[in-house]
Amino acid sequence: MEPIVEMIGIRKEFPGIVANDDVNLQLLKGEIHAVLGENGAGKSTLMSILFGLYQPEAGRILVRGREVRIQNPNVANDLKIGMVHQHFKLVHNFTVTENIILGLEPMVGLGALDTKKAAARIREMSTRYGLNVDPDARIEEITVGMQQRVEILKMLYRNAEILIFDEPTSVLTPQEIHELMGILKGLVREGRSILLITHKLKEIKEVADRCTVLRRGRVVGTVTVADTTEARMAEMMVGRKVSFAVDKAPAKPGAVTLEIRNLSVMGNRKVLGLRDFSLEVRKGEIVGVAGVDGNGQAELVEALTGMRRAESGQVLLNGTDITADSVRQRIRKGIAHIPEDRHKHGLVLDYSLEDNMILELYDQPPFARRGLLDREAIRPYAEKILSDFDVRSGKGVDSNARDLSGGNQQKAIVGREIELDPEVLIAVQPTRGLDVGAIEYIHRRLVEQRDGGKAVLLVSLELDEIQNLSDRIAVLFRGERMGLLEASATDENEIGLLMAGVQGKGGAA
Amino acid sequence: MKKPLIRIRDGRSVRLSLFAILLGLLAGAVLILTIGGNPFVSYWHMFRGGLMDLSRIGTALASATNLVLTGLSVAFAFRTGLFNIGAAGQMLAGAMTVTAIGLSIPVGALPRPFVLLLMVLAAGLAGALWGVVPGLLKAKFNVHEVVTCIMMNWIAYNLVSWLIPAYFASNLPSETPLIPKEHLLRTGWMASIFGDNEYINYGFFISLLMMVVVGFILNRTTLGYELKAVGFNRHAAEYAGIRVNRSMVLSMAVSGLLAGLAGATYYAGYANKLVVGTLPAQGFDGIAISLIGANTPTGVFLTALFFGILHTGKGFMNAMTDTPPEIADTIIATIVYFAATSILIERYGKVAAKWWKDRKGRKTPAGTAKGGAD
């Protein structure tokens, strides 16, 4: 097989870091080639260069043997390179067809849109690849998995032959992931070539032919997947032997700390995002909430932290009703929250770390007296969190939060919230986008919190994380609790079915 | 380690502001050339006009006084993430209030310091009221403050147009009589320092005080911490339990208060009567000053001084050369333009530098792919 894409000696710098350093990558025609690496290893940068979003400082790109300069995505498009981004780029109140033809609208006469022909072609492609997409459905009405298929169709409609998938499984259920893998295999059978960016070894094992591993911007090696074990690839990715299991003793749960009774919460679309949800979290246990993104997790978390009003139902903390309390009151009573989006909610990026470490405490003694901030009290407090939680920054507490790496930002948030010594710690996607080292560290801290007799509610889209950390697991589907499982007595398959809304044994445990 | 009370802007924004001013002056020079003038001579006279003797310096300071206050007003709102385009209306509300008080209280009926203090405070409150309305509407109904601020500008404008002929007219229905000099912020000892200048007034000290107060609030207080947190990232502020709506209302109140004070320093200090049919330009200049001053109190103060010099010197330039005074306004507008696009300037500066480096260093030919950045 001849190479269809060759990237040779690619170098890309961002202020302060080298994202890609002398990277070589060769994609053969008709293969699925995985690009593996931790967050920050440079996978996305490399793909963005191939798709024309960034210009490399050095290096050459050959497509079908000819050297090219991909100045913008239109050039990539002309070269028949397509990309499915991690966050889909779809217009929500448009139909599938309208989204696919956006930018290539077929015209009849003077500017009248001819969607019929396009819809027919989309339907035909959808059948051929087993995508099962309805061209007339509106994006907002279809599932995330379907939306991803629309993105795939968008590439196929433009006759893309080189398909880049950026972390395509992060929004899917285990079953949907399985279907996607089938679709990918179908696409290469048709002669297309696929670059699959991921940090999930299982998926690579399942579909990829070869795998290029990146670490800190450099290529560690390219391996044939069939001849390489998962453990070996993990080691290449991280640079040392890794254990994926979390070390923890059996839980010793105590009294109920957080009690959620029949909670219903309105979502952003003015329908109930969470329905009649009940759950108890006891001292000394970690309860995981599993589910595909958008099945009521946000509504649950926001109602618990006070950022969203509950329509009905109650939230009790140590027996007292806090349903009507403000965010501030709940924080004072002992609810801490590691938010899902560290940039949107977790940090004021333009504030120094020092200021970020007192985000919930800035008006409390000893940090403030009579309305004035006391820097002499704030500074050592912030410094202590940074050293206790191993947060690394260029200028210590004076660094702007913006200037830290994602892992260090997250460690700072985790440290800040644990330092509040909360009764209940609500951790939402606490390790999203972090490297293995940081993940291990944060997991250990969460388990320590549990072992210290505190309650932890873990909301995560990563099933592995839920399974590794939780003592009990609640599964959300379309805003309802599909089941409550003992972590030690269940498996991925059972959870996966519940995540997809298939009723199993139900409310056991 | 203590943080300084008033932080000097970081080197980058100082450079960008100076660069914008330089570009503005260059553009002005081109304009002067095209109408057949000599830019060096014109600029020489313009700066002389603002600085050549104590009297002119006094006028420049008096002119800057109002601009410092409106600039601080806009900057304060910006720091909370709000765009106060209503400083003109807030200033006018303050102006109407000082004028009404200054004309209504008979001279000598009350001690002068008491009357002046009352006028200044009332003007501030009137401005705050004018600022609070957009703040409340934003907090309660999520109406954009730019829309409501502009509406409040016109409400102030039309209110003045009704109140003056109805209650405060002089011989002319369109303007008030002169406010008696006992009820003006002007003072003999300041005038005598600045060569019998008739514009310089106590307002200058108000503007200095407000610069310090604003710096103090923003950098030292929990209130400032909250307001800036809301301004930088309101979602994170909400997450931390900061009452975002309250912060916005409060910020607009303070912002309006500052602009209201400008109403006092201008209409009962720099000037001494109120005329119907104008929205004070200082309100809009405040936006430019805040922008060039990087929304910091010291930055605003220095920029306002510079603008004060330009405003004072343009008449002299016109008298000494054929260059019309509008050139000075054009320069100000151009500086604003360059300051607003400073991010672009910075970016294109980098691109240009890289292009130059590449052009010298490139050995490999351009690629075969067609299309380009457009």
- Confidence at residue A150, expressed as pLDDT on a 0 to 100 scale: 93
Asked if A3-238 and A243-334+422-509 have one fold, the answer is: yes
Among A475-479, B96-100, B353-357, the range scoring the smallest mean pLDDT is B353-357
- What are the C-alpha distances in Å from B243 to residues A148, A229, B181, B238? 38, 53, 45, 7
Among A104-113, A235-244, B216-225, the range scoring the smallest mean pLDDT is A104-113
- Confidence at residue B366, expressed as pLDDT on a 0 to 100 scale: 41
Phi, psi dihedrals of residue A349, rounded to the nearest 5°? -60, -30
Whether B68 and B207 have beta carbons less than 8 Å apart is answered as: yes
Given pLDDT bands bounded at 50, 70 and 90, which one contains residue B359? Answer: low
Nearest to A149 by CA among A114, A176, A112, A116: A176
Query: Nearest C-alpha of chain B: how many angstroms from A103?
Result: 16
Tens of pLDDT, residues A372-388: 999 999 999 999 999 98
Contact B217/A at CB under 8 A: no
Which position has the token pair 């003056």?
Answer: B164
- Confidence at residue A378, expressed as pLDDT on a 0 to 100 scale: 96
- Give me A218's structure tokens: 């450099």
Which residues sit opposite A424 in a β-bridge? Answer: A335, A455
Given pLDDT bands bounded at 50, 70 and 90, which one contains residue B241? Answer: very high
**In chain A, what percentage of residues exceed pLDDT 70?**
97
Give mean pLDDT, residues A210-216: 92
Give mean pLDDT, residues A204-214: 94
Q: CATH classification of A243-334+422-509 is 3.40.50.300, yes or no?
A: yes
Would you call B369 and A71 a contact, using CB atoms and an 8 Å cutoff? yes
Given pLDDT bands bounded at 50, 70 and 90, which one contains residue B5? Answer: very low
Chain B residues near residue A360 by CB distance under 8 angstroms: 240-241
CA separation for the pair B292, B310 (Å, rounded): 15
Nearest chain A residue to B228 by CA distance is A351
Domain A3-238 sits in which CATH superfamily? Answer: P-loop containing nucleotide triphosphate hydrolases (3.40.50.300)
Closest Cβ–Cβ partner in B222, B237, B366 for A368? B222
Phi, psi dihedrals of residue A88, rounded to the nearest 5°? -65, 150
- Give me B136's structure tokens: 């409340």
Closest Cβ–Cβ partner in A66, A327, A362 for B368? A66
User: What topology does CATH give the domain B56-300?
Assistant: ABC transporter involved in vitamin B12 uptake, BtuC (1.10.3470)
- For residue A503, pLDDT beyond 80: no
Would you call A306 and B372 a contact, using CB atoms and an 8 Å cutoff? no
Helix (H) or strand (E) holding A323: none
Nearest to A284 by CA among A331, A250, A315, A317: A250
Say what the alpha-carbon torsion angle B355, B360, B365, B367 is, to the nearest 10 degrees: -10
Mutate to test the interface with A, among B3, B79, B220, B233 (most CBs of A within 10 A): B233
Whether A426 and A457 have beta carbons less than 8 Å apart is answered as: yes
- For residue B356, pLDDT beyond 90: no
Tens of pLDDT, residues B301-314: 999 999 999 889 98
DSSP code per residue over B37-93:
--HHHHHHHHHHHHHSSHHHHHHHHHHHHHHHHHHHHHHHHHHTT---TTHHHHHHH
Given pLDDT bands bounded at 50, 70 and 90, which one contains residue B370? Answer: very low
DSSP code per residue over A121-143:
HHHHHHHHTT----TTSBGGGS-
Closest Cβ–Cβ partner in A347, A351, A360 for B241? A360
CA separation for the pair A303, A264 (Å, rounded): 9
Would you call B229 and A359 a contact, using CB atoms and an 8 Å cutoff? yes
Of residues B372 and A198, more confidently modeled: A198
- Confidence at residue A504, expressed as pLDDT on a 0 to 100 scale: 58
Exposure letters B308-323 (e unless 16+ CB within 10 A, then b): bbbbbbbebbbeebeb
Give mean pLDDT, residues A243-271: 86
Given pLDDT bands bounded at 50, 70 and 90, which one contains residue A109? Answer: low
Of residues A173 and B300, more confidently modeled: B300
- Confidence at residue A461, expressed as pLDDT on a 0 to 100 scale: 86
pLDDT, averaged across chain A: 89
- For residue A505, pLDDT beyond 70: no
Among residues 155-184 of chain B, which lie with CB inside 8 Å of chain A? none
Per domain, the residue ranges of chain A are: 3-238, 243-334+422-509, 346-421
Which segments within chain B are labelled E, that is strand? Answer: none
Given pLDDT bands bounded at 50, 70 and 90, which one contains residue B329? Answer: confident
Contact B216/A at CB under 8 A: no
Whether A411 and A446 have beta carbons less than 8 Å apart is answered as: no
Q: Count Cβ atoms below 10 Å from residue A320 Cβ, excluding itself.
A: 9
- Confidence at residue A379, expressed as pLDDT on a 0 to 100 scale: 95
Among A117-121, A191-195, A237-241, A256-260, the range scoring the smallest mean pLDDT is A237-241
Phi, psi dihedrals of residue A471, rounded to the nearest 5°? -95, -35
- Confidence at residue B373, expressed as pLDDT on a 0 to 100 scale: 36
Contact B232/A at CB under 8 A: yes
Tens of pLDDT, residues B145-197: 999 999 999 999 999 999 999 999 888 989 999 999 999 999 889 999 998 88
Chain B residues near residue A355 by CB distance under 8 angstroms: 225
- Confidence at residue B11, expressed as pLDDT on a 0 to 100 scale: 63
Given pLDDT bands bounded at 50, 70 and 90, which one contains residue B2? Answer: very low
Of residues A58 and B327, more confidently modeled: A58
Chain A residues near residue B366 by CB distance under 8 angstroms: 69
Contact A79/B at CB under 8 A: yes
- CA atoms within 13 A of residue A357's CA, in its CB half-sphere: 29
Encoded amino acid at A192, one letter: R
Give mean pLDDT, residues A196-212: 90
Whether B127 and B76 have beta carbons less than 8 Å apart is answered as: no
β-pairing, A256-266 vs A310-317, is antiparallel
In chain B, DSSP finds a helix count (H) and a strand count (E) of: 15, 0
Would you call B238 and A328 a contact, using CB atoms and an 8 Å cutoff? no
Tens of pLDDT, residues B118-143: 999 999 999 999 999 999 999 999 99
Whether B102 and B181 have beta carbons less than 8 Å apart is answered as: no
Tens of pLDDT, residues B245-284: 999 999 999 999 999 999 999 999 999 999 999 899 999 9
Give mean pLDDT, residues A432-437: 72
- For residue A194, pLDDT beyond 70: yes
- Confidence at residue B371, expressed as pLDDT on a 0 to 100 scale: 37
Interface predicted TM-score (ipTM): 0.80
Query: Nearest C-alpha of chain A: how many angstroms from B204?
Result: 27
Mutate to test the interface with A, among B10, B78, B222 (most CBs of A within 10 A): B222
Chain A residues near residue B226 by CB distance under 8 angstroms: 362-363
Whether B42 and B317 have beta carbons less than 8 Å apart is answered as: yes
Say how many Å lie between the first and final Cα of chain A, rounded: 54
Longest CA span, chain B: 87
Of residues A15 and B143, more confidently modeled: B143
Would you call A348 and B373 a contact, using CB atoms and an 8 Å cutoff? no
Given pLDDT bands bounded at 50, 70 and 90, which one contains residue A214? Answer: very high
Residues 6+ apart with CB under 8 A from B47: B309, B313
Q: Count the helix, strand and coil residues of chain B and give each as a percent rounded to the nearest 5.
A: 75, 0, 25
DSSP code per residue over A219-280:
EEEEEEGGGS-HHHHHHHHHSS----S---PPP---SEEEEEEEEEEE-TTSSEEEEEEEEE
Would you call B221 and A371 a contact, using CB atoms and an 8 Å cutoff? yes
Contact B363/A at CB under 8 A: no
3-state secondary structure at position A7: strand
Contacts 24+ apart (CB under 8 A), A408-413: A409/A342, A409/A343, A409/A346, A409/A347, A410/A342, A410/A346, A410/A434, A410/A438, A410/A442, A411/A438, A411/A441, A411/A442, A412/A347, A412/A353, A412/A356, A412/A357, A412/A385, A412/A386, A413/A338, A413/A339, A413/A342, A413/A346, A413/A347
Sign of the dihedral through C-alpha A351, A356, A362, A365: negative
Tens of pLDDT, residues B75-89: 999 998 999 999 999
Encoded amino acid at A134, one letter: D
Q: Count Cβ atoms below 10 Å from residue A221 Cβ, excluding itself.
A: 12
CA separation for the pair B31, B329 (Å, rounded): 12
Given pLDDT bands bounded at 50, 70 and 90, which one contains residue B12? Answer: low
Of residues B308 and B366, more confidently modeled: B308
Put the strands of the sheet holding A256-266 in their side by side order.
Answer: A272-282, A256-266, A310-317, A320-321
Would you call B233 and A347 a contact, using CB atoms and an 8 Å cutoff? yes
- Confidence at residue B368, expressed as pLDDT on a 0 to 100 scale: 38
Would you call B236 and A348 a contact, using CB atoms and an 8 Å cutoff? yes
